[in-house]
Chains A and B, each alone.
Chain A
Amino acid sequence: MTQAAAVEKVAVRQYKGTPGQIRRRRIELTAGLVLGALVMVWIVANLINSPTQFAQVFILGFRNGLLYALIALGYTLVYGIIELINFAHGDLFMLGTLFSSYFITVWFGQETSNLAGWLTFFAALIAAMAFCGGLNILIERFAYRRLRRAPKIAPLITAVGVSFILQFIGIKWNGSTPRNWPKVLPQSEFTVLGVHIAWNTVILLLVAAPLLLLLSWVVTKTRQGKAMRATAQDQDAARLMGIDVNRTISFTFAIGGALAGAAGLLYQQTTGTTNYNLGFQLGLIAFTSAVLGGIGNLNGAVLGAVLIGIIQGLNDGLPIGLGQKWSQTVVFTILILIMVFKPAGLLGKSTTEKV
């Protein structure tokens, strides 16, 4: 080997970025390891201290995570296709909770868990999905479409405005204080190895999981899904393929909205309460989930949501922990840490496909 070749080989092997980049990466790695170690210690301590309670809050956290995932997907789908952070999305979910409440209790008069209650629940699922999906199509059509070529800040501000409008409708519809509703899902629970599991947790899983699978199938396997992915990557090129870009964007808003509608019903039926500002609370958690997973990445949104659900569940429900009053703080801390150290999110920028 000549000397020059040897030097070159060493240089190739050793080049890992500028000194600044290397230092930054080292700091990030150390911080990540320390944080990870602390979380592990916390989890192990609780696991040893109270294993059944751990399992119980873990399951609850996972359940909430799936609920967040249904909402988070709406943020990530819309961001993936038109790079808009749709601030109104959480409020759409809130209207979904109200629609479901009225549908089941007021319009169909169901208050108990019997056959009629069950049938109404499934009718409400379809109706809430159609309601929120349709509403989301209208929002895109009238509030965002005209601004598609405007500077990005314009649709962003419009989204905040739409959020206010939806909250206003929420106040009118729900009233300004929380409201309680009867549940048509069974309120009983069963016990496995000393762990109590509520039936409505099982039902939530049985509704949410197929919806997530269905979405994944639509996006990866169908013609509409292909059109969505093409539109997300290059709108004009998609047009040149014969794709109706406006319709594709409408369709994306429709499925994001439909998932929020399903989440609205599931939330309303598991907690039995509604409030006009729910959209803000859960919207922020769902948005954080989407960012944690890598906004624009569908698998990332589900992963981020489940992680946040579990972290929140453990924090709120474990004997050794910060407790429920710190719940929001924990979520925001996660959001800030990702923004600073890994803005692309857990799955962002990797080879996995956007939308």
Chain B
Amino acid sequence: MSTLLEVTDLSVAYGKIMAVKGISFNVDKGEIVTLIGSNGAGKSTTLRTISGLLAPKSGTITFKGEKINGLQGHDVVKKGITQSPEGRRIFPRMTVSENLDLGAFLRNDKSEIAADYDRVLELFPRLRERLTQKAGTMSGGEQQMLAVARAMMGRPELLLLDEPSMGLAPVLVELIFDTIVKIREQGTTILLVEQNALAALDVADRAYVLESGSVKMSGNATELASNDEVTKAYLGG
């Protein structure tokens, strides 16, 4: 399988605080790869850097063989990477359907956009009932669905999901993870960041365990899920 995203020796700092310290990983086409790790491990920082919201201190990020670190956020979207960010970050004073439209901001293919619109509403029927509601007035779970749906409207080759299950009731968590599997079946590669390590390892092909800015372990998701160290630290076992 061909490598879609390759992160090499990436370091990112906020002022003097090093949040990510030389991590390397890759995501192949068609995979679900998850980054797990406890609070402050540097997971969101990594995703924000891939999306061009932060500039790396050193290291490279290549996407389809092309270097993308140093690109601005909107140019990264053009290359085919979209993100559902931590904390949802939907546009609260716009309606659900306006939010979805913005997800397709860079696209011009009207009929394809309409098809994707139907596709995401099929994945999240709850959103269909609320198309004209102001997004900020929706429940947290509904906002999370909107954030994922909005990121899909960009029809990315690589979808970055930052804690899509955060703060959701168990039924919704299950729904979100089922949906992630479906999205991959429809041909989108996924890099998933999760606190909910058990669920993440369950849907992922491979995983990287981050700890205070470094990759501590990596490998096949099922194997990591049964690894003693991982179980102790992240799966509450």
Contacts and interface: CB of A to CB of B under 8 A. Distances in A.
B93 A240 contact: no
Contacts, number: 69
Could you say which interface size class chain A belongs to? 20 to 34
Given A226-B102, A227-B105, A230-B102, A243 B74 contact: yes
Contacts of B52: 239
A237 interface: yes
Contact of B94 (A233, A239, A240, A245): A233
B83 to A, nearest CB: 5
B51 A240 contact: yes
A118 to B, nearest CB: 41
Contacts of B149: none
Contact of B78 (A226, A238, A242, A354): A242
B84 to A, nearest CB: 8
Interface in A219-250: 223, 226-227, 229-230, 233-234, 236-245
B37 interface: no
B78 A240 contact: no
B92 interface: yes
A227 B91 CA distance: 11
B91 A234 contact: yes
A80 to B, nearest CB: 11
A8 interface: no
Q: Is the interface of A mostly helix, strand, loop or mixed?
A: helix
B89 interface: yes
A242 B93 contact: no
A344 to B, nearest CB: 14
Nearest to A233: B91
A290 B106 CA distance: 33
A233 B101 contact: no
Contacts of A226: 98, 101-102, 105
B90 A244 contact: no
Contact of B106 (A236, A237, A242, A354): A242
Interface string A197-239: 0000000000000000000000000010011011001101111
A189 interface: no
B39 interface: no
Given A239-B52, A240-B73, A233 B106 contact: no
B42 interface: no
B85 A240 contact: yes
A227 B154 CA distance: 15
Given A230-B102, A237-B85, A239-B53, A244 B74 contact: yes
Given A226-B105, A245-B74, 8 more contacts: A230-B105, A233-B92, A237-B85, A239-B52, A239-B74, A241-B150, A243-B102, A245-B73
Q: Which 3 A-B pairs give the minimum distances between C-beta atoms?
A: A239-B73, A242-B77, A242-B106
Interface of B: 51-53, 72-74, 77-78, 82-83, 85, 89-94, 98, 101-103, 105-106, 134, 150-151, 154
